[in-house]
Structure 1
Amino acid sequence: MTQDYIQKCRAILDTVAAQEAQIQQGAQWFADSILAGRMVHVFGSGHSRIMVEEMWPRYGSFPGFNPIVELSLTFHNLVVGANGQRQAMFLENVPGLANRILRNFALSKLDTALIISSSGCNVVPIEMAELFQQQGIKVVALVTQEHAAQSMSKRADGKKLSDFADLILDTGAPVGDAMVTVPGLDTPVAPGSTVGGAVLINCLKAETAKLLTEASRPPNVLSASVVVGTDRAVSLFEAAYDEHAHRLAKLYEKVGTASYVSGE
């Protein structure tokens, strides 16, 4: 079983490697937003939250990304009862919720967005992408193409995440996501989209860091003290978090109804 899963993961890596041009294009859009002082909005419901947190904040990552994580859509560990999985799966298909989420931010055409959804068929991620595009914001969609192609959209008009994407990246996982067939068990186990998704996220991150550095704006990367020393690690963490706050402030300052605080 272990060797079977690892072999399939190697095939996923090949699929990701074949998308180098698309990865570089997405990274260029991300770098442009970050250099403009804006942010890349990263959203995923359900287990796609894993990819949001893989992008930022964690070791080897840097500010410039706005992780949009709704607990009502991603809080899985209770499974049943209050805040259970049934509610989360219901809410990620409620029309209008994406609009309520984005109402909290003052968006700009200088922003970009990364929307993660393995099936590309749940309503909230689809509406997120649609709303970003309506604001003139480029959308990169991270999906599992084989699975998405054979899945039915939960949206009334049948449209999927890919219908509102300027660029599509494929995790390389199979239909149904689970990749290993156990003898005597009629349902496969061990999904692969997390593997492909995490590799894509970190390829995007590395390419974006390269572009920022080449533009003489090297990012403040969260780094371990065993690599850069304690003082340098503390300095980088503080600088990165402060930069994130400064970028985020722009998304709140003039949001919605004007006040004497926001100015004109």
Structure 2
Amino acid sequence: MFEYMDAIRKQLGLLEDKNKEELEKVSKLIGDAIMDDKLIHVLGTGHSHMIGLELFIRAGTLANVNTILDSTVTTADGAIRSSKLERISGIADVLWEEQAIENGDLVIVISNSGRNALPIEFAMRAKKEGHTVVVLTSLEQSKKYPSRHSSSKKLYELGDIVLDNCVPAGDGLLEVNGIQTGAPSTISGMALLHTAVTEGMKIAAKNGAKLPVYASQNIDGYSNSELYEKYQGRIKHM
């Protein structure tokens, strides 16, 4: 009945088909992070920050996730401003040094276009520091347009594992009066990461790990105090 919902159902099937092997690899990394008490650091710029926010301190998600929510990467202080800041070289190092990123932590970088300086340089810094880097991007869009970074690199070229959100260039599944619309990138990104996280939980649980998962604060009889205390100081925006 609704064209967008039909398109999203097809999109979810495409995501699974295109990313099966990559999802298995990322799930293993997340399972290892749980078992080894390591953090999962997530950076997304512009609207991509919402994908990281989806994993951050909410019911049913892992507590060992540090999503980077500085105003430079969100639209909180102005959408146009954040778009400009994303293209400026040097900001990634500032953000990196403000996080408590330790050896063995996993780094996930999200950018639909994968062409701007901030996510590219954050991935570069992570690689330099010896971290495994998971990239979530649109391969179609990223390969279609040139990098805006001085290295000429694009984000997908820096990932140890690349999750493809299978989003067409322009981020729209529909066309209305000749105008591309019906953005799928946020839903696609969230679906991919929730899949990897829940599969990672299953791996850790099978190996006897206690899962650090937040309960809903709106259900009586549950408390997250133990998790808050455990990760206080390790997660900047807690």
- In the superposition, the TM-score normalised over structure 1's length comes to 0.83
Identify the residue that residue 98 of structure 2 maps to in structure 1: 104
Give the paired residue count.
Answer: 235
**Residue correspondence of structure 1 range 1-264 to structure 2 within 5 A:** 3-18=2-17, 19-76=19-76, 83-182=77-176, 185-224=177-216, 230-231=220-221, 233-234=222-223, 237-245=224-232, 247-248=234-235
**Compared CA separation, residues 247 and 85, structure 1 to 2 (3 A):** closer
In structure 2, what residue type is equivalent to 1:127? E
Residue aligned with 2:108, SS? strand
Cα distance, 1:246 vs structure 2: 6.1
Distance (Å, rounded) in 1 between the aligned partners of 2:226 and 2:98: 25
- Between the aligned partners of 1:131 and 1:167, the Cα distance in structure 2 is 16
- Structure 2: gaps of 5 or more residues: none
State the one-letter code of the partner of 2:228: Y
The 2-side partners of 1:120 and 1:23 are apart by: 19
* CA–CA separation in structure 1 for the residues paired with 2:5 and 2:118: 32
Could you tell me how far 1:216 is from its partner in structure 2? Answer: 1.5
What amino acid is the match of 1:181? Answer: E
Distance 2:42 2:100 in 1: 15
Following TM superposition, by how much is the alpha carbon of 1:225 offset from its aligned partner in structure 2, in angstroms?
Answer: 6.9
Q: Deviation of residue 8 (structure 1)? A: 1.8
2:235 and 2:140 map into 1 onto residues whose CA distance is: 36
Q: What do the CA deviations read for 1:143-182 (whole angstroms, capped 9, x no partner)?
A: 1111111122111221100111000001122111012111
Confirm or deny: 8 A CA contact 2:41 2:66 kept in the other structure: yes
RMSD: 1.9
Q: TM-score, normalised by structure 2?
A: 0.91
How far apart are 1:224 and its partner, in Å? 3.4
Separation in 2, partners of 1:120, 1:56: 22
CA contact (8 A) 1:108 1:137 kept: no
Q: Using the alignment, how far apart are the partners of 1:161 and 1:58 within structure 2?
A: 28
Give 5+ residue unaligned stretches, structure 1: 77-82, 250-264
Give distance in 2, aligned partners of 1:74 and 1:248: 18
Q: Which of 1 and 2 has greater Rg?
A: 1
Report the identity percentage.
25
